Amino acid sequence: MLQSRLLLRQASRPCQCLHTTLLGRCYATAAKQRSRKPIKPQDPIKASIAAPGTDVPVAPSIYDSRLGIRSYKPRTPGLRHLRRPINDHLWKGRPHHPLTFARKGQHIGGRNRTGRIMVRHRGGGAKRRIRIVDFERTEPGRRRVERIERDPGRSAHIALLSAFNEQEDRTDYSYMVAAEGMRAGDVVQSYRKGIPADLLASMGGVMDPGMIAAKTAWRGNCLPLYMIPVGTTIYNVALKAGKGGQLCRSAGTYATIVGKSEEPLKGKKSTDLHVKLSSGEVRKIPRDACATIGVASNVNYQYRQLGKAGRSRLLGIRPTVRGVAMNAADHPHGGGRGKSKGNVHPVSPWSTPAKGGYKTRTKSKSNAHVVVPRVRNQGKRRRVNK
């Protein structure tokens, strides 16, 4: 168990020798912790706008002084380069067992049902259970966040929600992808089936978009896209109406609603919204599709360092061997004397060009839902048009 370092120093004067003899030598590991400022209580509108100074955090810069990364005293070589995000609020116990199932089968090693390897560098790893996460969130009503847990199957954290079922006199539990800043005791709600009657009555029966956003656009709430104001940061975004979230589910990812068009287009009312993804791509998504307010949790996940190869093996990642280190029968770059790939262009083991991009999509198969495509580097330095 890794613990924080105890700052103990031997006394320089003889009268303080009793202090050192009683305590003895300390073997606890070290930890350099850069504490982050506590997250203020969220406001209904401020928690939904991704602008400087708001309460919804985005992925910070690696030079940010508030970056919460923990390092350890190098007692062993595997701890010297270990870097982990500080997530002391996570649940220390086991998951809710009814919402899990065992991860078994030959697909763990990257194989299909016939036993052929479809994905290389997969296999082994520690035993784990798959968490059943509710990406659709169709059930209405208020739900309480019981705890925030770590999910070994994804980079973001998950939240265990509870709601009392009066008809069957029991408590229902479900998992959702946690938002950054969400803690135990928070209350979240889903508005996919419409606005509740009590909320509509509190507004005097008037459907004011601004008032609805002020009462519903809170961190962790699930809403249809047409109910979310422009400029709001969202995650777990669905691509179709009635489906679960598919975009922005990894740690620290988010999207932004950049435009709504209610004007008729060619005699038809527009049913799409423009959403900007983290990659810079702008897509058209149906207005009835759902999304969750906020940013996916564990934003510092990208700054972690495993520290040794054994932790990659525990994650089920096997080693990657270079082609020039293989024999000529195993790879096009193999064989020869020394580090030589035979004066050929870089290719994959199946002779597909490996650098500069190998385009397989023709112009007639372009994605009609993409408004602004993301910037593609394709292995070359990006050129800025001045």
Q: What is the pLDDT of residues 196-215, one digit of tens each?
A: 888 888 888 778 888 888 88
Check residue 297 and give its pLDDT: 95
Average the pLDDT over 245-249 and give the result.
95
Give CA–CA dist 287/78, Å, rounded: 49
DSSP-assigned letter for residue 98? G
DSSP E strand boundaries for 115-266: 129-131, 141-149, 158-165, 170-177, 187-190, 222-224, 233-235, 255-260, 264-265
* pLDDT surpassing 90 at residue 343: no
Q: Is the pLDDT reported for residue 47 higher than 80?
A: no
- Please tell me the pTM assigned to this model: 0.76
pLDDT at 43: 42
Return the pLDDT at 118: 92
- Structure tokens belonging to residue 368: 């009609």
Average pLDDT, integer, range 218-247: 93
Question: Rounded CA gap, 358 and 352, in Å?
Answer: 8
Q: What pLDDT was estimated at residue 289?
A: 93
Q: Are 110 and 156 in contact (CB under 8 A)?
A: no
Which of 3-12, 214-223, 273-282, 352-361 is predicted least confidently?
3-12
| 137 or 105: which leads in pLDDT | 137
Q: Is the pLDDT of residue 42 over 80?
A: no
- Whether residue 175 is predicted with pLDDT greater than 90 in this model: the reply is yes
What is the rounded CA–CA span in Å between residue 221 and residue 159?
13
Angle (CA) 111-113-117 rounded to 5° is: 20
pLDDT at 51 over 70: no
- Model confidence band, residue 66 (pLDDT cutoffs 50, 70, 90): low
Q: Report pLDDT for 222.
A: 95
Structure confidence at residue 2 as a pLDDT band (50, 70, 90): low
Q: What's the rounded mean pLDDT across residues 106-112?
A: 85
- Higher local confidence (pLDDT), 4 or 122: 122
- The DSSP bridge partners found for residue 84 are 70
For 18, the 3-state DSSP assignment is helix
- Cβ contacts of residue 51 below 8 Å, gap of 6+? 231
User: 212-235 burial string, b = 16+ CB within 10 Å, else e?
Assistant: bbbbbbbbbbbbbbebbbeebbbb
Q: What value does the mean pLDDT of the chain take?
A: 81
Give per-residue pLDDT as tens, 145-156: 999 999 999 999
The predicted structure's pLDDT at residue 305: 95
pLDDT range class, residue 22, cuts 50, 70, 90: very low
Q: Percentage of the chain with pLDDT > 70?
A: 77
Cα 225 to Cα 292: distance, rounded to the nearest angstrom: 9
- Cα 68 to Cα 64: distance, rounded to the nearest angstrom: 9
Confidence class for position 246, pLDDT limits 50, 70, 90: very high
pLDDT above 90 as % of the chain: 54
In the predicted model, what is the mean pLDDT of residues 102-126?
89
> Whose CA is closest to 214, among 41, 49, 53?
49
* pLDDT attached to residue 41: 43
Q: What is the mean pLDDT of residues 91-117?
A: 91
**Residue 182, token pair as written in the block:** 């969400």
Q: What pLDDT score does 268 carry?
A: 63
* Average pLDDT rounded to a whole number, residues 276-305: 94
Q: Using the predicted structure, report yes or no on whether residue 250 has a pLDDT greater than 60.
A: yes
**Residue 304 burial (CB count, 10 A):** 16
Q: For position 337, what pLDDT does the model report?
A: 87
Predicted confidence at residue 24, as pLDDT, reads: 40
Q: What is the mean pLDDT of residues 258-279?
A: 77
Q: Which of 177, 294, 191 is nearest to 233 (CA)?
A: 294
Q: Is the pLDDT of residue 361 over 90?
A: no
Q: According to the model, what pLDDT value does residue 55 have?
A: 43
Please determine, for residue 29, whether its predicted confidence score (pLDDT) is greater than 70.
Answer: no
